[in-house]
Structure 1
Amino acid sequence: MLVYPNFDPVAVSLGPLHVRWYGLMYLVGFCSAWLLGRYRAGRPGSGWTPEAVDDLITYSVLGVVVGGRVGYELFYDLPGLVADPLSFFKVWQGGMSFHGGILGMSVVTWLLGRKTGKGFWGIADFLVPLVPLGILAGRIGNFINGELWGKPGNVPWAMVFPDPRAGDVPRHPSQLYEAGLEGAALFVILWLYSAKKRKYGAVSGAFCLWYGIFRFVAEFVRVPDPQLGYLAFGWLTMGQLLSLPVIALGAWLLWLRPAPTPGAGG
C-alpha cells in the first residue's frame, strides 16, 4: 500500500484569494493545447495560422468551462440544482463533466466551422489531438484534491484517501488510471493517427472511440458519484452510460460514415 501524499488543494493564497491546484491544472491543459495547436499550424499545408489557433483556444476555454459545468449539473446533480439554482455558479466547490465539456466544445466547433468555412469536422479533426493532455492535467487535479477515488483494492499501489467518505480502506487511485488512459495513451494514439492525412472526421472518430472505451473501462474501478450510485443493471455508472453514445459515434465516424468533401459542410 502507498501513502497518499496529502496535498494542500490550495496552491497559492494571496489574502482572501485562493488559487487551487485544480484550477491551475485547467490552465496547464489550455496552455498545452495552445502550444500544440501552434506547432501543428506551423506544419506545411496545415491550413491553419497561429492567429486562428489563438481564436480556437480562446473559444474552446468558454465551451469547456460552460459546457462542463452545465453537463455536471444536468447529468450528475440536477436535484441539487433545482433545490439551489445558485449552486451552478459555485465552481470552487468542484463539479465538471467531461461529457458536458464535449457538448460545449461541439457548439464552439460548429460556430467556428461556419465562420471559417472549414466545416465542423475540419475544426474538430484539428482540435481533438490537443485535448488529451488537458484531460491528463485535469485528472491529476482530481488526484491532488483527493476526489473521484476508486474502489477498495489490494494492489501494491492502493492508497487511503483523506476524504472521510473513503474510509480507512486502501483504494485504487482511479484518477491516475484515467490520467494514463484518457490522457497519456489517448494523446499518443491521436498524435500518431493524425500525423497522416485521414478521411474527414476520422481523427474525431478515433478520439470518440478511444476516449469512450478508456472511460468505460476506468469506471469499473472508480466509485460512482454518491448522489447517483449505479444506474443500470446494478453496475453501470453515469460515466459509462454517457460513454456508450460517444463510442458509437466514434465507430460511425471511422467505419460507417461516407467520406465527405472538405469544405462541403463536413
Structure 2
Amino acid sequence: MSSLHDIDPIAVSLPFWPHGIHWYGLMYVLAFAAAWWLGQRRLRAGRLPGIDENAYGDLLFYGMLGVLLGGRVGYVLFYDLPAFLADPLMLFNVRGGGMSFHGGLLGVMAAGWWWCRKHRMHWFDVMDFVAPLVPLGLGFGRIGNWIGGELWGRVTDSPLGVVFTRALPPEYANLPVEQLRVLHAQGVLDPFARYPSQLLQALLEGLVMFAVLWWFSAKPRPRFAVSGMFALLYGVFRIVAEFFRQPDAQYGYLAFGWLTMGMVLSLPLVALGLVFLWRSHTAPTLAKEGA
C-alpha cells in the first residue's frame, strides 16, 4: 500500500506574515550555512591560498546571488519560455515557484568569474574549491521539494509509492485532507501513487555526491579535476533520477518515450566532466599536500 504525503509546507506561522516561513526557504538557509561552514574548513586547510575569510564571505554572497538569480532565470528560459514571452513580469513571480539547478549552476559560475576578476585568481581553481560545498545544498533543496510535495515522481505500484495531494486528478484536488486520508485508507488513491523522486535526488545529488566529492578533494587535486568530478557525478545522477521523476508538464517526453528536458540539460555536464578530468592530467595543483 502507498503512503499519503501529508506535510504542512509552512514551518513557522507568523501573525504579521500570512504566508509564514516555508520549509523550502529554510532549506536554502541550511544550504548556505553548510557551504559557509565547509568552506571555512577548506580555507583553514589552505585550499585557496591567499584568500582570507572576508574575501570568502564575498565569494559566498556572490554565489548566493548566482543561485537565486540564475536559478530563477534558468527556470524561465529552460522550462517556461512561452509564459515569459507572453508576460515578462512573470519572471518576478517567485511565489509561483520555479527554480532550475542548471540555471543556478550557470549563475554560480558567473558569480565566481566576477569574484575571480577582482582577486586575480584562476576561475577553475575557485570552481574546484566550491564544488564540494554544493551537494549538501542540493540535498537540502530536494528535501524542500519533498516537504512541499512538488517535483514528484512517475506513477508506480511499488510499495515505495507516495500519493502527493498536489498531483491528484481534479476530482480529488480540492477535497479536504481529512477526506483524502479516508480515501487513501480505503485504497482509492493507490492508483495515483508516485515514486518519491525528490528523496532519490536528495540521496544521489546530495549525500552520495557530497561523500564522493569530499573524499576526492581531501587530497589536493590538479586543476579541473574536482570540477570535472562534480559535473560528471551530477549529470549521471540527474539522468538516473529522471527515469523515476515525472517529466515537466510543458514538455513531457521529448523523444523515445523516455527522454526528458532534465536529461538533455544534464548530458553536456557528463561530457564536460569527462573533458575536465582528462585535462586535469596535465594541469597544475594549486594547494600542495600538507598545506
Distance in 2 (alpha carbons) for counterparts of 1:222 and 1:51? 40
The question of 1:4 aligning with 2:27 is answered no
Aligned to 2:201: 178
**Identity of counterpart residues, as a percentage?**
51
Does 2:55 correspond to 1:52?
yes
Q: Which amino acid aligns with 2:30?
A: V
Taking the aligned partners of 2:46 and 2:280, their CA distance within structure 1 comes to 28
Mark the CA change 1:253 to 1:187 in structure 2 (over 3 Å): closer, same or farther. same
Match of 2:238 among 215, 222, 234: 215
Paired with 1:180 and 1:127, the residues of 2 have a C-alpha distance of 20
Following TM superposition, the consecutive aligned residue runs of length 4 or more in structure 1 with deviations greater than 6 angstroms are none
CA-atom RMSD, angstroms? 1.7
Alignment of 1:73-222 (within 5 A): 73-165=76-168, 168=189, 169-222=192-245
Distance between the aligned counterparts of 2:29 and 2:44, measured in 1?
23
Task: Tell me how far apart the structure 1 counterparts of residues 71 and 167 of structure 2 sit (CA, whole Å).
Answer: 26
- Length-normalised TM-score, structure 2: 0.86
Paired residue secondary structure (1:160): strand
Instruction: Confirm whether residue 24 of structure 1 aligns to residue 47 of structure 2.
Output: no
Please tell me whether residue 62 in structure 1 is matched to residue 57 in structure 2: no
TM-score by length of 1: 0.93
What displacement does 1:22 show? 0.9
- The one-letter code of the counterpart of 1:185 is V
Aligned equivalents of 2:285, 2:73: Cα separation in 1: 32
Q: Indicate if the aligned counterparts of 1:212 and 1:243 stay in contact, CA closer than 8 A.
A: yes
Provide the C-alpha distance between the structure 2 equivalents of 1:135 and 1:44, rounded to a whole number of angstroms.
Answer: 25
Aligned to 2:273: 250
Name the amino acid aligned to 2:109: S
Residues 128-186 of structure 1: per-residue CA shift (max 9 Å, x gap): 10000000000000001111111122332211111144683121100000000000000
Shift, 1:46, TM fit: 4.4
In the TM superposition, residue 50 of structure 1 has moved relative to its aligned partner by: 2.1
CA-CA distance at 1:256 after TM superposition: 4.3
Structure 2 CA distance, aligned partners of 1:154 and 1:49? 53
Deviation string for 1:218-256 (max 9, x for gaps)?
000100111111113332111100000011000000014
Q: Is the 8 A contact 2:220 2:285 kept in 1?
A: no
Structure 2 segments unaligned to the other structure (5+ residues): 173-188, 287-291
Q: Is the 8 A contact 2:222 2:280 kept in 1?
A: no
Which of the pair has more CA radius of gyration? Answer: 2
- For residue 36 of structure 2, what is the aligned residue in structure 1? 34
Deviations 1:13-39 (A, max 9, x none): 322352111111111101110111011
Counterparts in 2 of 1:115 and 1:258: CA distance versus 1, 3 Å: farther
> How many pairs were matched up?
263
Tell me the secondary structure at the aligned position of residue 13 of structure 1.
strand
Gaps of 5+ in 1: none
